[in-house]
Amino acid sequence: MKFKKLNKIAAYLIYLVIAKHLPVSYSKVSFASKKIRYFCVKGFIDRIGKNVNIERGASFPPSIKIGDNSGIGVNCSLYGPVIIGKNVMMAPEVNIFTKNHKFDRIDIPMCEQGNTDDYPVIIEDDVWIGSRVTILPGITIHKGAIVASCSVVTKDVEAFSIVAGNPAKQVKSRLDDE
């Protein structure tokens, strides 16, 4: 048991110190960075599928789960437990939060009230998340949805819908194209 925990810690440290900073996977001089990052991440996160692409600069805790053929984009930051389904595309600089600051008391400063519990974010299969999207705690993005760049997702996203804006609102349904 101790050996397994030490291996997880070692894999996490190797990721943070070396693999996280290797070139992007599509670079002409990537030095197999996609495979190296995958190998390191496989050693410390809760679950990782096949053919997963973790890009340069991605930050996340060991509590994430990611399905087959999915990716975490360049400089993405995932805070807390996040479940990512299969075939999920995540563009650069996406931020996913699973907790917030408490602010319910007015007799003490907000910075002294601590944080809420974690509310996991769930991203179902076949989702495309655009660049610089922010996803707030407890959100589910359902199957086949598209989240436009720079959107702030404050409510669950319906299956096969396209959302955009701050706050993100449905602008179209992919089912309308059929």
pLDDT in tens, 54-96: 999 999 999 999 999 999 999 999 999 999 999 999 999 999 9
Q: What is the mean pLDDT of the chain?
A: 95
Strands 77-78, 65-66: pairing is unpaired
Mean pLDDT across 44-61? 95
User: Could you tell me which of 151, 153, 159 has the C-alpha nearest to residue 175?
Assistant: 159
Residue 4 has pLDDT above 90, yes or no: no
Residue 142 has pLDDT above 90, yes or no: yes
State residue 10's pLDDT score: 92
Indicate whether 77 belongs to any domain. yes
Distance CA 125, CA 120 (A): 16
Indicate whether 150 belongs to any domain. yes
Condensed to tens digits (0 to 9), the pLDDT of residues 87-132 reads 999 999 999 999 999 999 999 999 999 999 999 999 999 999 999 9
Indicate whether 27 belongs to any domain. no
Q: How confident is the model at residue 30 (pLDDT cuts 50, 70, 90)?
A: confident
Indicate whether 13 belongs to any domain. no
Indicate whether 141 belongs to any domain. yes
pTM: 0.92
Indicate whether 74 belongs to any domain. yes
State residue 2's pLDDT score: 79
Distance CA 91, CA 76 (A): 8
Residue 178 has pLDDT above 70, yes or no: no
Indicate whether 62 belongs to any domain. yes
State residue 31's pLDDT score: 79
Could you write out the DSSP letters of every residue in 56-85? TT-B--TT-EE-TT-EE-TT-EE-S-EEE-
**CATH number, residue 156:** 2.160.10.10
Residue 177 has pLDDT above 80, yes or no: no
Indicate whether 69 belongs to any domain. yes
Domain that holds residue 146: 47-177
* Residues forming the active site: 101
Q: How many distinct structural domains can be found in the chain? A: 1
Could you write out the DSSP letters of every residue in 29-62? T-TTHHHHHHHHHHTTSSEE-SS-EEPTT-B--T
